[in-house]
């Protein structure tokens, strides 16, 4: 028989706040984390805004020497993991560290390190490339560092499925706990790609918002004037725990994870499948996996990137699955506030779903003034809404046609 899986700890480093409470309060207040790019000179690029993490000091969570040997994406992940364990009130000496795993998603990895060392190679020669280049850059090292920092000896893996990475990672973690292979898993995602090369690449694709004159309003999912996504950065880490293990130690349960579904569009390197067909199948699989009927869903945290095709096709996919009920479901894109955290997006958005369930309030989609063509559902425009949330789903879709959905519900005996 499958074990039940609950969420008992949350840690986050985000453009709208560091720590669960700061993050959640900012979202409920409808605050935007977007501003002019400060990490490099973006004046020559068509997009000059991003959702950067503010006031992050790695030495609050790491020894200075350790921090210097980690890329920013790994620093974020370690910090968020330590917050999640603290939030979950974990006493490490009382748990079996061989039954605690780390399953993370990361779309790009150490882009800052990659760009720095590429400059070293071309300007100073191969003899000056750092011996830490590879272990700082590769995407799996965030999970590796978390395991090393915390002494966790269970499974340690990294999932790379573009913007669906963190949701797929959480899905894998869900299965491991469900099958009884782990008591607990730190899962989620991390990303730190606000760097010149990555930024220029997305600009060349014409994928990012060009609302440079008013940064706070640049991310506008489902709005008629949307012009693309706003790049964000950060990490979200959730503590997944087997129910009986959580109950035995009196843990606070934010929500229960009950379903997971993933599919492939098999269609195009960047564009969604027509009518959101692949996204619809992911939602259907997740609902079936959780034995949840479409009419039971209270809230959807949408992928909602602010690109023309994504928002329209996700709306179509929701209509396919929920039919007439679609217009009655509260839907929001918190990317309107956090920006798009790429491989970490699904982690902070599942966190939003869990907090919505725990607090019976859903955050808004800000900057939604006039819905775009075909975007005619209830996107909770501009103001948070009190709502009893029994069941919530979180959608993420990635370049390459990766679709992933998780279903969470209010915990009941």
Buried b (16+ CB within 10 A) or exposed e, 49-80: bbbbbeebebeebbeeebbeebbbbbbbbbbb
- Residues, the chain: 413
Burial string for 14-25 (b: 16+ CB within 10 Å, else e) reads bbbbbbbeebbe
Please count the CA atoms within 13 angstroms of the CA of 385 that sit on its side-chain side: 17
CA nearest neighbour of 146 among 189, 197, 208: 189
401: how many CB neighbours lie within 10 A of its CB? Answer: 22
Of 30, 21, 33, the C-alpha closest to 384 is: 30
Q: Check if the beta carbon of residue 207 is closer than 8 Å to that of residue 228.
A: yes
Distance CA 234, CA 44 (A): 25
3-state secondary structure at position 217 = helix
Residue 208: DSSP 8-state: B
Count CB neighbours of 128 within 10 A.
10
Chain centre to alpha carbon of residue 44: 29
- Location of structure tokens 């690449």: 201
Catalytic residue annotation: 163
- What's the token pair of residue 334? 């918190």
Give me the numbers of helices (H) and strands (E) for the chain, helices first please: 13, 15
Question: Closest Cα partner for 241 from 297, 196, 191, 185?
Answer: 185
Number of neighbouring beta carbons within 10 Å of residue 231: 29
Distance of alpha carbon 392 from alpha carbon 377, whole angstroms: 16
In whole angstroms, give the CA distance from residue 168 to residue 160.
8
Distance in angstroms (rounded) separating the CA atoms of residues 260 and 238: 16
């Amino acid at each position: 028989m499958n074990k039940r899986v609950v969420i008992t700890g949350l840690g986050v480093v985000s453009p709208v706040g560091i720590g669960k409470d700061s993050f959640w309060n900012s979202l409920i207040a409808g605050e935007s984390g977007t501003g002019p790019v400060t990490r490099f000179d973006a004046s020559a690029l068509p997009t000059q805004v991003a959702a950067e993490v503010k006031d992050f000091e790695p030495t609050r969570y790491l020894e200075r020497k350790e921090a210097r040997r980690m890329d920013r994406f790994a620093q974020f992940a370690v910090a968020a993991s330590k917050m999640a364990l603290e939030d979950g009130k974990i006493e490490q000496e009382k748990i079996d560290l061989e039954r605690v795993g780390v399953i993370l998603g990361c779309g790009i990895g150490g882009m800052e390190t990659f760009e720095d060392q590429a400059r070293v190679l071309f300007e100073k020669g191969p003899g000056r490339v750092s011996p830490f280049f590879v272990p700082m850059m590769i995407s799996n090292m965030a999970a590796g560092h978390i395991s090393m920092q915390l002494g966790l000896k269970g499974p340690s893996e990294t999932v790379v499925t573009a913007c669906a990475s963190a949701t797929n990672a959480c899905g894998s973690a869900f299965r491991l706990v469900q099958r009884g292979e782990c008591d607990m898993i730190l899962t989620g995602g991390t990303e730190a790609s606000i760097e010149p090369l990555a930024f220029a690449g997305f600009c060349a694709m014409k994928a990012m918002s060009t609302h440079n004159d008013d940064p706070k309003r640049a991310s506008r999912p489902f709005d008629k004037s949307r012009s693309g996504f706003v790049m964000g950065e950060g990490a979200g880490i959730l503590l997944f725990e087997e129910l009986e293990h959580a109950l035995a130690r009196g843990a606070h349960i934010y929500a229960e994870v009950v379903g997971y579904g993933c599919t492939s569009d098999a269609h195009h390197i960047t564009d969604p499948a027509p009518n959101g067909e692949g996204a619809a199948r992911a939602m259907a699989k997740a609902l079936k996996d959780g034995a949840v009927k479409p009419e039971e869903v209270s809230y959807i945290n949408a992928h909602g990137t602010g690109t023309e095709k994504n928002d329209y096709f996700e709306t179509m996919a929701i209509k396919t699955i929920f039919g007439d009920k679609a217009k009655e479901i509260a839907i929001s894109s918190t990317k309107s506030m956090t920006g798009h955290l790429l491989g970490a997006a699904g982690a902070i958005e599942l966190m939003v779903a869990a907090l919505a369930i725990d607090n019976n309030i859903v955050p808004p989609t800000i900057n939604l003034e006039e819905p775009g063509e075909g975007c005619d559902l209830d996107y909770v425009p501009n103001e948070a809404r009190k709502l009893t949330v029994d069941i919530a789903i979180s959608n993420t879709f990635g370049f390459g046609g990766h679709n992933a959905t998780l279903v969470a519900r209010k915990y009941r005996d």
